[in-house]
Amino acid sequence: MFLADTRGGRELPLLKALAHPASPTRGLYTLKTIPKLDFAACLNHSYQELAAYICAALGLSGDMLQHALERYNSFSQTHAIAPLRLLTPHLAVQELYHGPTLAFKDMALQPLGALLGSLAKDSQEKFLVLVATSGDTGPATLASLAGLENIKVVCLYPAKGTSLVQALQMQTMDAPNLKVYGIEGNFDDAQSALKNLLGDAKFNVQLKEKGFSVGVANSVNFGRVLFQIVYHVWGYLEWVRSQNIKYGDLIRIVVPSGNFGNALGAFYAKEMGLPIAKIAIVSNANDVLEEFFNTGVYDISHRSLQKTYAPAMDILKSSNVERLLFALFGSERTKECMQNLDIHKRYTLSASELETLQEHFQAISCMDHECLSYIKQVYAEFDYLIDPHTATAFKALDSLKSPLPSVVVSTASWGKFAQTTCLALENKSTADDQEALEVLAQKGITPPSCVTSLLQKPPIHIEVLKVPEIARHIQAWL
């Protein structure tokens, strides 16, 4: 199967696009057409069998895929891979955080990492994967690529910009092919440092001399979206198996959104035939997506990034929207919109394009004070603790008032965001996650055991660099 380029560039075979996802047009590789699948026939499939069925329809099968799907076997023992928890018969939460780093990024990065490992091994190609993270992508990428042959990973994070738990998840990662640097500055500084490096001719020559090509595991890589189709289907089938809905009943999926990869996976599932009435996407104070889906205007010209309690959603340029535009309106129109975004920092859909968008999507935003109150409210009502990202989805449920059965996609464990949790439940500010966890423990609230053990581990990667020093350090390490 070939993937199309969203901006009309040349097509690439799927595996090639996974290994080399950067397109010369600066577009993204994506599905050319979306196949119709028979999910009703998958009711007895295991998670891995379902994943294999969907991947096969997109042209990916064989030993390499089987090996990649084995990664799911290591997801936490006491839970299924992506369990559905029914708060009421028609309100479900799908927990996507039972992978090694407690956020939903593991759902895709675990198998994708294994695929990249197989590709590197088979082709004798060496990859340097560079990742800039605001907190969740970094740990998940490191965990997915640790110890693989022919792959090295450099991860940059803002030294003062992540939670303690997130920082420790990176700093304690012990494998010879991983390097983690804190940088002086914020996430934008880390990301632009990385972009500058990738565009730097001298750096690229040196990489070539050492035999490396650049590998990409961020949302540019279609492999991320591919594995994010599966759990949406799984959640629906779990619900049918629970006998609270029948196959064919229409549901709503509510997705806390940032780069729009998770919601795009739901869109593909819908187009493949899963009975989804609407996908509700939720933004935080960075409500560019909410504005886009409600008005057809994508406008970042007057915006600057706000820091919120749901940091993984602190995004203005939501990269996967480009794949949605391509799927709905084709490459010419996508290219036009993306050019406008580059030049004018905005683009506007026509009235009929907006209507098409709204056939599939609804959009809501949730501010920080609401996020805190929904954590508290859901805990009081259901004795169920959610993280700040998931909390935004509960705001959406209330705003959307309509009788559709709804599944909230829960994207992280609260244990990653103890300080915010403590603020929400106890109205208490704390110095760091450690102190917050102690306060919560006094109330009988304990985090997943891996969080506790993480706080005991000695950090290995403790270097903090100034931006101009980064290139030199990476070269020296390679």
Enumerate binding residues for ligand PLP (CB under 6 A).
Answer: 103-105, 136, 256-263, 312-313, 389, 411-412
3-state secondary structure of 93: strand
Q: Rounded to 5 degrees, what angle do the CA atoms 134, 153, 171 make?
A: 55
Q: Rounded to 5 degrees, what angle do the CA atoms 12, 13, 19 make?
A: 85
Query: What is the closest distance, in whole angstroms, from the C-beta atom of residue 100 to ligand PLP in the complex?
Result: 14
Query: What is the closest distance, in whole angstroms, from the C-beta atom of residue 285 to ligand PLP in the complex?
Result: 14
CB neighbours of residue 73 within 10 Å = 10
Q: Between β-strands 2-5 and 29-31, what pairing exists: parallel, antiparallel or unpaired?
A: antiparallel
Pick between residue 281 and residue 445 the one whose CB is nearest to ligand PLP: 281
Pick between residue 126 and residue 307 the one whose CB is nearest to ligand PLP: 307
Q: What is the rounded CA–CA span in Å between residue 75 and residue 98? A: 6
Pick between residue 105 and residue 179 the one whose CB is nearest to ligand PLP: 105
CA 326 to chain centre: 20
Query: What is the closest distance, in whole angstroms, from the C-beta atom of residue 225 to ligand PLP in the complex?
Result: 9
Helix, strand, coil percentages, rounded to 5, for the chain: 50, 15, 35
Query: What is the closest distance, in whole angstroms, from the C-beta atom of residue 213 to ligand PLP in the complex?
Result: 25
Query: What is the closest distance, in whole angstroms, from the C-beta atom of residue 260 to ligand PLP in the complex?
Result: 5
CB 218 within 8 A of CB 312: no
Query: What is the closest distance, in whole angstroms, from the C-beta atom of residue 203 to ligand PLP in the complex?
Result: 27
- Within 8 A by CB and 6+ apart from 341, the residues are 298, 300, 317, 347
What torsion, rounded to 10 degrees, do the Cα atoms 150, 72, 283, 437 define?
-100
Pick between residue 312 and residue 327 the one whose CB is nearest to ligand PLP: 312
Q: What is the rounded CA–CA span in Å between residue 12 and residue 6? A: 12
Pick between residue 118 and residue 411 the one whose CB is nearest to ligand PLP: 411
Query: What is the closest distance, in whole angstroms, from the C-beta atom of residue 263 to ligand PLP in the complex?
Result: 6
Pick between residue 112 and residue 245 the one whose CB is nearest to ligand PLP: 112
Pick between residue 118 and residue 390 the one whose CB is nearest to ligand PLP: 390
